[in-house]
Amino acid sequence: MPFAPLLRFFMLCSLVVLSALALATTQAQAQAPAAMPAQGERLAAGLERFKADSFADTEAAIAAIAASGSAQGVAILSALADRRLFAGAAGVFYRDAAGQAFDALTGQPATIPADAAMVRLNNRLRNVVQAALGTMTLLSPDPAQRVRAAEAVFRSRDASALVTIEAALPSEQNPRVRRAFEEARAAILLSSADAPEALRIAAARRIAEAGDNDAISLLRQFSGQTTGGLNAVINQGILSIEQAQRIRAWGQTLWFGISLGSVLLLAAIGLAITFGVMGVINMAHGEMVMIGAYVTFVVQELFRNHAPHLLDWSLPLAIPLAFVTAGLVGIAIERGVIRFLYGRPLETLLATFGISLVLQQAIRTWFGPTNREVSAPSYMAGSFEFVGLQITYGRLWIVVFTLCVFAALLLVLKATPLGLQMRAVTQNRRMASAMGIRTRFVDAMTFGLGSGIAGVAGVALSQIDNVSPNLGQSYIIDSFMVVVFGGVGNLWGTLVAAFTLGVANKMLEPFAGAVLGKIIILVLLILFIQKRPRGLFALKGRAIEQ
Amino acid sequence: MLTARFLRMIEGRGLVFLGIMALVALLVPLCNLYVPPGNPFHVSNGTVVLLGKYLCYAMFAVALDLVWGYCGILSLGHGAFFALGGYAMGMYLMRQIGTRGVYAHPVLPDFMVFLNYKELPLTWWGFQHFPYAMLMVVLVPGLLAFVFGWLAFRSRVTGVYLSIMTQALTYALWLSFFRNDMGFGGNNGLTDFKDILGFNVQAQGTRAGLFIVTCMALALTFIIARMIVASTYGKVLVAIRDGESRTRFLGYRVEHHKLLVWVVSAMMAGVAGALYVPQVGIINPSEFHPANSIEAVVWVALGGRGTLVGAALGAVVVNWLKTVFTTGWLAPYWLFALGGLFVLVTLAMPKGLIGVWEDVRARLANRKAIADAKASGARPSDAGSPDPQVPR
């Protein structure tokens, strides 16, 4: 029966992870239909004018092809720009970038007749071609391409694209493309000096709303050159964008801090059990994290070799396995060494440090000293934008996962019989024993739980750190700092401490650099411990010495 | 009268130790310099350096035992003091290179020229003078220990918390010294030394001289440590170790007592580091690594905590084992051995090698007493070692 709580904990963990997985894989792929009528006749008329071989006719041809909206239009014009377009009595032909020849009118593969000559361009026409190409991609059926084209127009502010954009805007369904079009239109209007003042003011407002780097540089360009109401709107827009950017930078720092804090919490949370609740100085804690990471590696290798199509499931499966493996190693350490050393913290520290050396060397012997590759599953790759913040899925998952582990641990401690027994034994061992609690067994289970959590942390840390025999070492000092800072024996203190340290570290980084920032944090921590030797949230007690 | 007091203070074990030190200081250089290579009694140059290194570690271990064995302060960051002393010596040696460096700059060491330093940083001023450098060898670790100890002991950070804090201290220094901006050679540290006080550091004679100086320094460290622990002050230290609050309630200023021994120990560690550097020829940030400090603790634990002689013995034994392990086919098993040693010492021999030896001797004496008693028909007296119990 005592295993029931642990089992329930596993199930809770896997449930959380599985449901999250399901969410990630069912992301809707919305695509707006964008069908443009192909007008073969206008294309034919345009192509006909290439044959005249005069610059004026070529310009007219370009305009006609751009207006035709034909599917080949882009290919023809880009061939023209790259000197791959040929005209002759038999028709107009082009080669694609690979050298394959096509008939321009039909788009079918063809051979270029000997009398066909290359259509010549001068510099002015080359610009016309580029602008026409930009306009045509504005009408492309692919939304991503439309957005790119609109962004190009935003930067070039080519007035000739205004007509196309205004024509396309009312029928545009895709909100992202729509926004890009509106911004491009605003950019053109703002930069055309002969547009009505009211339109230009509205355009400036629209650009200020866009709020990105391109917008601010565009506004800055015009801030001195205009007068009256328009200038005021532009300057106001610049100020508001700058403010928004400052807030966004803070948000980004905060997010990085939370992300780092969750890593710290993950590494420290197992220690909060073994050190915080049991008072055992487990220097081999980092090696439990390492074991968890290696379990992930082994599980993933097994999947890679035997069931590659299920590779994405290797991580969720590694979580319970890492918990059990690290937990069993922890129980073995407790039974084999630590139980002889209760009440002798300094000796425990030395013995567990020895164990950590042995575990590291064992891993080094079995897996080699080099870093092992643990790949990220598809649902952890990539990133998304949230109110202007770049957030990678991997980091987001780790934050969510950390909070889940924390909640699960609280649940185990507060709502299961084993948790009750753990708390009883740590508060008053002899009284608990007198009440019939098997204290030895509870000791082993508590240590196993702490170690198992460390193993679970290893699964997550394998995603962001090198899986090597030294993995654990790099976390052990930070973990102790977090637990001591938060106040020993207090899980919530550990949570607050981890996030505080994470955010403080990231706040310092822009001023001091990564290493110096870390050093400053360490020094501040050492000073803090002088002030409050029992951490942020100290347990009140009357014992003079522990 | 004075001699008798001195002998009583040193104790039998200490006399044996000092005797061995004198013998080693005499024989090793003799056998190195005057016995021809080929002869079985010849001691090679490499062995002299190796033994010199062991003795520096032994000195370091004695310093550590002084605070841990007698005052109960388990420092997991004592390596920081050792390394700081080493850096002070390294800076002196760097300044002695002069124009013989790769860039032949008269003032700046090579790495500073490489990093585009225009002038010598303030921290390096005066290190061309040997007396100033030697002052810094004790002053810098001493000052750091004073500031850290003053803060920590005043606010009664004790036990495991203090250990973790000391570890954080050396960890912070480890990170700092890796930075090129610190102006201490960054990752590469200080090396390529040419001469010390005008003698070539590579020369056989200089090495023998350094070895003798190390022996003398170790002996002196031991005598000072013995003087401390044998004094009334030393008794108070033991009282603090065994019951800090009680000692405080008896009216002793616990933090002052702790601070003094802490600073003295840090200075000793600094001197050990300073002697270490010219012999091994390099000092780099890895000396600050927290693992080094913890390893030093196990030397003391193996030899016998709170015995001083045991600390020195443990340092030599563990490092000799390390040499044996890491130079042959056993190399992959060294960490297994070291880790196993940690567990074995804490579980099976809490009083270390010296404790085991005392037990064996006591048992033999007891057996002899019983035999004598049987022979004479009287009851055996209770023979055994009256050593103070090391608290658990």
- Look up tokens 């009282």; give the residue: B239
Question: What is the model's pLDDT at position B379?
Answer: 54
Nearest CA distance, A192 vs chain B (angstrom): 52
Distance (Å, rounded) from C-alpha B299 to C-alpha A90? Answer: 95
Measuring CA to CA, how many Å separate A415 from each of A400, A421, A423, A506? 22, 11, 11, 35
Question: What is the model's pLDDT at position A375?
Answer: 85
For chain B, say whether A347 makes contact (Cβ under 8 Å): yes
Question: Is the confidence at residue A31, as pLDDT, over 70?
Answer: no
Question: What is the model's pLDDT at position B119?
Answer: 87
Distance (Å, rounded) from C-alpha A289 to C-alpha A277? Answer: 19
Question: What is the model's pLDDT at position A71?
Answer: 67
Nearest CA distance, B118 vs chain A (angstrom): 23
Cβ atoms < 10 Å from Cβ of A45: 15
Counted across chains A and B, CB pairs separated by less than 8 A come out at 127
Residues A454-472 have a mean pLDDT of 90
Domain around B112: 2-350
Name A94's bridge partners: A85, A102
Question: Is the confidence at residue A135, as pLDDT, over 80?
Answer: no
pLDDT in tens, A367-393: 988 888 888 888 888 888 777 778 888
Structure tokens at A158: 């080519």
Give the pLDDT band of residue A476 (cuts 50, 70, 90): confident
Residues B93-108 have a mean pLDDT of 88
Question: What is the model's pLDDT at position A275?
Answer: 84
User: For A169-227, where are the alpha helices, taking DSSP H only?
Assistant: 175-191, 197-210, 213-223
Question: Is the confidence at residue B374, as pLDDT, over 70?
Answer: yes
Distance (Å, rounded) from C-alpha B308 to C-alpha A162? Answer: 89
Contact A533 B156 (CB under 8 A): yes
The DSSP letter of residue A211 is -
Q: Which residues does B38 contact at the CB level (< 8 Å), separation at least 6? A: none
- Look up tokens 């979580």; give the residue: A319
Question: What is the model's pLDDT at position B391?
Answer: 47
Distance (Å, rounded) from C-alpha B381 to C-alpha B144? Answer: 51
Question: Is the confidence at residue B88, as pLDDT, over 90?
Answer: yes
Contact B298 A484 (CB under 8 A): no
Residues B92-104 have a mean pLDDT of 89
For chain B, say whether A539 makes contact (Cβ under 8 Å): no
- Out of A124-128, A215-219, A472-476, B273-277, the most confident range is B273-277
Contact B163 A349 (CB under 8 A): yes
Residues 269-308 of A with CB under 8 A from B: 281, 283
For chain B, say whether A35 makes contact (Cβ under 8 Å): no
Contact B339 A361 (CB under 8 A): yes
Domain boundary assignment for chain A: 248-531
Question: Is the confidence at residue A402, as pLDDT, over 60?
Answer: yes
pLDDT in tens, B310-341: 999 999 999 999 999 988 888 888 999 999 99
Cβ atoms < 10 Å from Cβ of A129: 22
Question: What is the model's pLDDT at position B278?
Answer: 95
Nearest to A50 by CA among A59, A42, A41: A59
Name B175's bridge partners: none
E strands within A18-106?
A: 85-88, 91-95, 101-103
Residues A524-532 have a mean pLDDT of 83
Closest Cβ–Cβ partner in B154, B178, B341 for A354: B341
Contact A480 B161 (CB under 8 A): no
For chain B, say whether A480 makes contact (Cβ under 8 Å): yes
Mark residue A312 as left, alpha or beta (left: phi above 0; alpha: psi -120 to 50; beta: remaining).
Answer: alpha
pLDDT in tens, A481-510: 898 888 877 889 999 999 999 999 999 888
Structure tokens at A171: 């029928």
Structure tokens at B322: 């390390």
Question: Is the confidence at residue A161, as pLDDT, over 90?
Answer: no
Phi, psi of B373 (to 5 degrees): -65, -40
Structure tokens at A156: 């070039």
Residue B297 domain flag: yes
Distance (Å, rounded) from C-alpha B358 to C-alpha B388? Answer: 12
For chain B, say whether A477 makes contact (Cβ under 8 Å): yes
B164 contacts in A (CB within 8 Å)?
A: 480-481, 484
Residues B209-238 have a mean pLDDT of 95
Q: Tell me how far the alpha carbon of residue B301 is from its chain's centroid.
A: 13
Question: Is the confidence at residue B113, as pLDDT, over 80?
Answer: yes
Dihedral of the CA atoms A55, A57, A62, A68 (nearest 10)? 180
Question: Is the confidence at residue A26, as pLDDT, over 60?
Answer: no
Name B200's bridge partners: B195
Phi, psi of A96 (to 5 degrees): -85, 180
Level-2 CATH architecture, domain A248-531: Orthogonal Bundle (1.10)
pLDDT in tens, A258-276: 999 998 998 898 888 888 7
Closest Cβ–Cβ partner in A362, A525, A530 for B152: A530
Name the 3-class secondary structure at B138: helix
Q: In chain B, whose CA is at the least distance from the CA of A284? A: B339
Q: Which residues does B13 contact at the CB level (< 8 Å), separation at least 6? A: B307, B309, B354
**Longest alpha-carbon distance in chain B:** 87
Q: What rounded mean pLDDT belongs to chain A?
A: 82
Q: Which residues does A495 contact at the CB level (< 8 Å), separation at least 6? A: A265, A406, A486
Contact A529 B245 (CB under 8 A): no
Nearest CA distance, B219 vs chain A (angstrom): 28
Question: What is the model's pLDDT at position A224?
Answer: 72
pLDDT in tens, A234-257: 888 888 888 888 888 888 889 999
Question: What is the model's pLDDT at position A218?
Answer: 80
Question: Is the confidence at residue A228, as pLDDT, over 80?
Answer: no
Burial class (CB in 10 A: 0-12, 13-18, 19+), A27: exposed
Question: What is the model's pLDDT at position A441?
Answer: 92
Distance (Å, rounded) from C-alpha B179 to C-alpha B284? Answer: 11
Question: What is the model's pLDDT at position B173?
Answer: 93
Nearest CA distance, B159 vs chain A (angstrom): 8
Which of residues A397 and A194 earns the better pLDDT score?
A397
Report which residue type is found at B221: T
Residues B190-202 have a mean pLDDT of 90
Give the pLDDT band of residue A539 (cuts 50, 70, 90): low
B301 contacts in A (CB within 8 Å)?
A: 350
Prediction ipTM score: 0.84
Question: Is the confidence at residue B80, as pLDDT, over 90?
Answer: yes
A357 contacts in B (CB within 8 Å)?
A: 335-336, 338-339, 342
pLDDT in tens, B198-217: 899 989 899 999 999 999 99
Closest Cβ–Cβ partner in B151, B334, B342 for A530: B151
Number of domains in chain B: 1
Question: Is the confidence at residue A404, as pLDDT, over 80?
Answer: yes
Distance (Å, rounded) from C-alpha A149 to C-alpha A157? Answer: 11
User: For chain B, where are the alpha helices, taking DSSP H only?
Assistant: 2-33, 45-71, 78-97, 110-114, 130-154, 159-178, 204-230, 232-242, 244-249, 254-280, 290-303, 309-327, 334-348, 352-376
Closest Cβ–Cβ partner in A350, A361, A523 for B346: A350
Compute the C-alpha angle A87/A90/A94, nearest 5°. 40
Nearest to B212 by CA among B12, B351, B70, B21: B21
Question: What is the model's pLDDT at position A43?
Answer: 78
Question: What is the model's pLDDT at position A13?
Answer: 47
Give the pLDDT band of residue A403 (cuts 50, 70, 90): very high
Nearest CA distance, B16 vs chain A (angstrom): 29
pLDDT in tens, B124-174: 999 999 999 999 999 999 999 999 999 999 888 888 888 888 998 999 999
Q: What rounded mean pLDDT belongs to chain B?
A: 90
Q: Which residues does A168 contact at the CB level (< 8 Å), separation at least 6? A: A138, A139, A181
B154 contacts in A (CB within 8 Å)?
A: 530
Give the pLDDT band of residue B22 (cuts 50, 70, 90): very high
Closest Cβ–Cβ partner in A340, A354, A533 for B340: A354
A522 contacts in B (CB within 8 Å)?
A: 168-169, 171-172, 175
| Contact between residue A482 and residue A497 where contact means Cβ atoms under 8 Å apart | yes
Contact A477 B343 (CB under 8 A): no
**Longest alpha-carbon distance in chain A:** 108
Question: What is the model's pLDDT at position A27?
Answer: 38
Contact A480 B164 (CB under 8 A): yes
Structure tokens at A502: 């994470």
